[in-house]
Amino acid sequence: MNKHQYLYGFVFSELGQNFTCKGLDDQDVYFKNRGSLSLAMSDFKMIDFSALPQKEMLHYLTQHHHAIETIMENLCIIPFKFGTMIKHPDQIIKIFTSSYDQIRKKFTVLKDMVEMDVMVFFNDFDQVFNEIKELPSIEQFKQELSPGSTQDLHDAQIKLGKMVNSVLDEKRNGIRKIIFDRLSDVSADILTNDITQDSMVTTLALLIKKKEYSVFEKRIEDLDRYFNGTIDFKIVGPLPFYSFYTLTLHKGNFKELDFARQTLNLPGKAVLAEINESYKKLSKACHPDNDSHNKDLARKFEDLNKSYQIIMEYISDNSCSFLKEDVEQWLRVKVFERENAVML
C-alpha cells in the first residue's frame, strides 16, 4: 500500500524535527522544517474518514488529538482539521510556499499563549430548579391554573416550562457575566461554547498568556470563594488552540476555477491587472441597476462576483494559472478562526 502523509499541524520551532511521538496507527510523527516553522506529519494510508464506522472514526480522532496534545507539551502547535492528508511528499513544498508568511504571523502572537477551557456547573441543580419553581410568579401561574381539557393542561405545562427555562437562562447569564468580567483582563480572548446538560452554567474557551497562567488560576479560586460553593469549576488545559484556530488544507478545483475564468473572459493565464480590468468592465455591463427587472442580469452579476472571489483565492504573486495541470497541483492552508477570536 502506498504511503501518504497525514498532517497534524504547524509547529513553531526550528528544532521540531528532533522531537517525535506516535500518531495514527501508531506511526511515528516526524517534522519537515523551513525557517522557524515545522510541519508535523506521519506516514498513513489514504482513506475517507467520513466513510468509516463511527467507532473506528472516533478511534482515529482520539489518536489525532493525542498526537497534537503530546506535541504541545514540548512545542507550540496550530492544529490541522482532523483527517487532513496529502498524497505526495512534494506537496509539502507547496504548502510551505503558499502558507509560510501567514502561519508565521499567527505564531508571533500565539507562541506565548495556551488555550484553557472552563466548564461551570451548578453544584446542586435540583436545588436551583426547586428555588425557581417556588418563585412568586411561577407559584401564581400554577395557582391560576383551572381544571380543563387535556389540551389546555398540555398548553399550560408548555408555558410553565418556558417560564422556568427563561428564569434559569437569566440566572445562567448573570453568573456568566460575573465570570466573564473577572477573567477578561487575564485573557487575550474568550469564546463561549454550547452547554450540553441542564446542570451546566456555561463553557468558556480562553486564550491565556503563559506568563498570566498563575493569575488565571487565582481568579478561578477567587470566583470559587465568591459563589460560596454554589458553583463548580472544571478546568481543562493547557490545550492546543482547538476553539480558536484550526488549519484546513484547500486543494485546486479545476471545474470551479475554469467556470470563474470563463465568466470573466480570461485566458489560460492572467495577471492581477488583467483580472481586475475584466471584472470592472463586466460588472459595469451587468450591474442590476442597469435594469432592475432583468433577473438574468442579477444572476450574471452574482456569478461574476462569486467568480472574482474564487480567482482571488487562487491568485499568487499577482498572477493566476487556469491550466488544469497547475490547478490540480494547487494547495493552500487556510486558518479557520472562530468569531471573536484574536485578530492578527
The reported pLDDT for the residue numbered 343 is 36
pLDDT top residue among 19 and 237: 237
Beta strands in 4-126 (DSSP E): 4-12, 21-22, 28-34, 37-44, 76-79, 85-86, 113-122
Residues 3-13 have a mean pLDDT of 89
pLDDT digits (tens, 9 = 90+) for 257-270: 999 999 999 999 99
Whole-structure pTM over 0.75, yes or no? Answer: no
pLDDT digits (tens, 9 = 90+) for 44-79: 988 888 899 999 999 999 999 999 999 988 888 999
Residues 66-104, buried b or exposed e (16+ Cβ, 10 A)? ebbbbbbeebbbbbbebbbbbeeeebbebbbeebbeebe
The reported pLDDT for the residue numbered 152 is 67
The reported pLDDT for the residue numbered 253 is 87
Beta bridge partners of 44: 4
**What is the overall mean pLDDT for the chain?**
86
Q: Is the pLDDT score of 120 beyond 60?
A: yes
Q: Tell which residue, 70, 47, 71, has the closest CA to residue 60.
A: 47
The reported pLDDT for the residue numbered 344 is 33
pLDDT digits (tens, 9 = 90+) for 198-207: 899 999 999 9
pLDDT band at 93 (very low <50, low <70, confident <90, very high): confident
Q: Is the pLDDT score of 114 beyond 60?
A: yes
Q: Is the pLDDT score of 148 beyond 70?
A: no
